[in-house]
Amino acid sequence: MTESGELAILGSPGEVEFASYPVPHPSPGEIVSQMVRANVCGSDLHIIGGTHPAAKPGFTLGHEGIGRVAALGEGRELDGAGTPLAVGDLVVATYFQGCEACPACLTEQPNICYRAAEAYARPASAAPHFHGTIATHWHIGRRQTAYRVPDGVDARAAAGANCALSQMVYAAELAQVGPGDTVLFQGAGGLGLSGVGVAAVRGARPLIADLQPGRLQMGTRFGAEELLDFAGRSVEERVAAVREVTGGLGADVVVEVTGVGSAFEEALRFVRPGGTVVMVGNITPSEARIDPGAFTRLGIRLLAAYRYRPRHLAMALRVLARHPDVPWASLADADYRLSELGQAVADSRSRKITRASIVF
């Protein structure tokens, strides 16, 4: 008898639905994993809310999570680092894939491949059905890079490795964050707190800003040296607060993880002359008013960290293994069953929680 699994799909904007399909058998080079945890990240909220390019009714939901290998296709006996894979191993994978033929892929940038979203932004009705992680099973395609989770790494912590943590590892590498650098994170959600932890283990001086004091308090546990409460403050007051804790100059690096267009405007005023701004959170259409001359006058470097490159997922797992003292697992601070996805989304939107985790 063929095993059946359940998955979450987007109904009308703002609504989630569920469907059942036969669990696929992996073709050569593929993996089928049985999900252990799937997190609800900020982009999932945009998709479910209908404001993301991947927001199409009937499409599968979820891209962040961890599972156990249920079946390995022929030729997929090793992970992306050459480590043997076996049924039962905990595994994480890139949620996107490269086409291996476009200019981005040919320059080792599958994260911006024109067809990257084909791995997950697909209708559930299209075989092999289990394209998203918010499901009992996840089909990992041949062009998705998978890694075995190191022994001793908490599954709750590793559930965020293939999205938030890898993105922050990538952003830190792009900005060349190193010892002594002052790095300001705009936003104390899962991305921002992950970024603080990454910056701290690289020897930098992390700062974090948010509008909600409760979320900010977690920053200290991840290594933030300054918590900036922006609630009720004007832009001028926010700029003054940043300069007060950066010797009057501004941060060496500002990392935007809010997804709000106005945060970009503010980032250009928070960074020091010759500093770097890294855009991570703004992926859906929004507007911002900027002074282009600021880049010229101040020599500001603007970078974009969209998704990450596969090797950054391997690096993220090493960070988890080498720095268990950082409370990575606490980012997924609320557990739900698959049937409770609607409540998980509502709690995430209201910011009652940092990150919802669907447990299977």
Asked whether the beta carbons of 213 and 344 are under 8 A apart, the reply is no
Condensed to tens digits (0 to 9), the pLDDT of residues 208-227 reads 999 999 889 999 999 999 99
The pTM (predicted TM-score) of the whole model is: 0.95
pLDDT in tens, 253-267: 999 999 899 999 999
Residue 17, beta-bridge partner list: 9
Residue 284: the pLDDT is: 73
- Mean local confidence (pLDDT), 262-289: 92
Mean of the per-residue pLDDT values of the chain: 95
pLDDT, mean of residues 98-104: 95
User: Hey, which residues does 180 pair with through a beta bridge?
Assistant: none
Q: Which helix (H) or strand (E) holds 226?
A: strand 226-229
Determine the average pLDDT of the residues in 47-61: 88
Give mean pLDDT, residues 123-152: 98
Task: Yes or no: say if 10 and 47 are a contact pair by the CB < 8 Å rule.
Answer: yes
pLDDT of amino acid 1: 53
8 A C-beta contact, residue 163 and residue 40: no
Among 327, 329, 324, CA closest to 355: 329
Q: 12-39: per-residue pLDDT in tens?
A: 888 999 999 999 999 999 999 999 999 9
Return the H-helix or E-strand segment holding 64: strand 64-72
Mean pLDDT of 328-339: 97
**pLDDT greater than 90 at residue 159:** yes
> In 19-165, which ranges are continuous DSSP H helix?
42-49, 103-106, 155-158
The DSSP-derived string for 243-296 is HHTTTTT-EEEEEE-S--HHHHHHHHHHEEEEEEEEE-S--S-------THHHH
User: Do residues 236 and 166 lie in contact, with contact meaning Cβ atoms separated by under 8 Å?
Assistant: no
Helix residue spans in the chain (DSSP H) = 42-49, 103-106, 155-158, 166-174, 190-201, 213-216, 218-222, 235-244, 261-270, 293-298, 310-322, 341-349
In this predicted model, what pLDDT tens digit does every residue of 223-247 receive, in sequence order? 999 999 999 999 999 999 999 999 9
Question: Rounded CA gap, 58 and 51, in Å?
Answer: 15
The C-alpha angle with vertex 316 and arms to 315 and 318, in degrees rounded to 5, equals 65
Q: Please say whether the beta carbons of 157 and 190 come within 8 A.
A: no
Average pLDDT over residues 309-335: 98
Torsion 89-124-48-104 (CA) sign: positive
- In the chain, what percentage of residues exceed pLDDT 70? 100
Q: Domains for the chain: give ranges and CATH numbers.
A: 4-160+332-359 (3.90.180.10), 164-304 (3.40.50.720)
- What pLDDT, on a 0 to 100 scale, did the predictor assign at position 320? 99
**94 phi/psi in degrees, rounded to 5:** -60, 135
pLDDT band at 2 (very low <50, low <70, confident <90, very high): confident
